């Protein structure tokens, strides 16, 4: 009987120790579980804070971008560089005029003024004395001074006159400066006034007026 009592006490001691170990394990497990639960509860808050910070950062960058854009918009536009005015090109007027061989002075419809510069250029046509046709240069090698209206000028050539100024030879090309003479421009063939019916054909010239 005396040997059974120590055995009973040993079992009781073991049972108590096992119970205490179980209690300690349960406490540790409970503490660990509670701590984990708190961590899980705090984690969303951390994510929310991070998201909020990112949103604030994006908002700040957007505000900065709008500020830069506004600054660019507020900047005054570059002043237009004024190009130096170029001189106005001379105004041109072109008149096509046909001069008949069998007529005296023929007015071209142009009154020469000081600011004008005029060119007269042969375009087409022929005229002749006795069917010997030539252009506006006339008959340079032919004499017949008696057959010319103006003996100092080439026989049969195209000649011109401005107002009451001295007649001049036009030929196939000439230029007139209005500062030197003014008046109505007339043209004709340099032939004898009393024998105009002996001349045939016509010359067309291009008269260009520069102002």
44-75 pLDDT, tens per residue? 444 455 555 666 665 666 656 665 555 555 55
Tell me whether residue 164 is in a domain: yes
Q: How many domains would you assign to the chain?
A: 2
Which residues span the domain enclosing 54? 1-62
Tell me whether residue 77 is in a domain: no
Q: What is the CATH number of the domain that holds 126?
A: 2.60.120.430
Q: What is the pLDDT of residue 43?
A: 47
Dihedral sign computed on CA atoms, order 22, 27, 31, 37: positive
End-to-end CA distance of the chain: 155
Q: What is the pLDDT of residue 201?
A: 95
d(CA 172, CA 161): 15
Q: Do 97 and 193 fall into the same domain? A: yes
Q: Do 206 and 130 fall into the same domain? A: yes
Last residue of a domain, one of 41, 62, 83: 62
Q: Which of 12-16, 159-163, 177-181 has the highest mean pLDDT?
A: 159-163
**106 in Cβ contact with 133 (< 8 Å):** no
Tell me whether residue 87 is in a domain: no
Q: Where are the beta strands (DSSP E) in 79-198?
A: 92-100, 106-112, 117-129, 132-134, 158-162, 168-169, 173-177, 183-189
Q: Do 53 and 106 fall into the same domain? A: no
Instruction: Tell whether the model's pLDDT for residue 149 goes beyond 50.
Output: yes
CA 123 to chain centre: 37
Q: What is the pLDDT of residue 178?
A: 84
d(CA 155, CA 101): 12
**148 in Cβ contact with 189 (< 8 Å):** no
Q: Do 100 and 184 fall into the same domain? A: yes
pLDDT single digits (tens) 39-49: 555 444 444 55
The mean pLDDT of 176-184, rounded to a whole number, is: 89
Q: Do 97 and 171 fall into the same domain? A: yes
Tell me whether residue 85 is in a domain: no
Q: Do 51 and 96 fall into the same domain? A: no
- Residues with Cβ within 8 Å of residue 52, at least 6 apart in sequence: none
pLDDT single digits (tens) 190-199: 998 877 678 8
Please provide the average confidence, as pLDDT, over all residues in the chain: 79
């Amino acid at each position: 009987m005396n040997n059974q009592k120590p055995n009973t006490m040993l079992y009781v001691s073991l049972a108590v120790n096992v119970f205490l170990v179980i209690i300690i394990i349960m406490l540790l497990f409970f503490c660990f579980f509670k701590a984990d639960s708190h961590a899980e509860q705090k984690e969303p808050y951390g994510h929310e804070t991070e998201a909020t910070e990112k949103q604030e950062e994006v908002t700040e960058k957007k505000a900065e971008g709008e500020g830069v854009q506004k600054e660019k918009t507020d900047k005054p536009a570059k002043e237009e560089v004024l190009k130096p005015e170029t001189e106005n090109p001379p105004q041109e007027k072109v008149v096509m005029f046909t001069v008949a061989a069998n007529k005296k002075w023929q007015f071209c419809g142009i009154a020469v003024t000081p600011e004008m510069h005029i060119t007269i250029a042969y375009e087409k046509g022929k005229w002749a004395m006795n069917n010997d046709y030539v252009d506006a240069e006339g008959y340079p090698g032919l004499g017949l001074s008696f057959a010319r209206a103006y003996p100092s000028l080439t026989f049969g050539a195209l000649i011109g006159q401005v107002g009451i100024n001295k007649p001049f030879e036009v030929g196939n090309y000439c230029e007139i400066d209005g500062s030197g003479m003014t008046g109505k421009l007339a043209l004709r063939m340099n032939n004898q006034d009393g024998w105009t019916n002996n001349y045939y054909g016509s010359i067309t010239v291009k008269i260009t007026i520069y102002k």
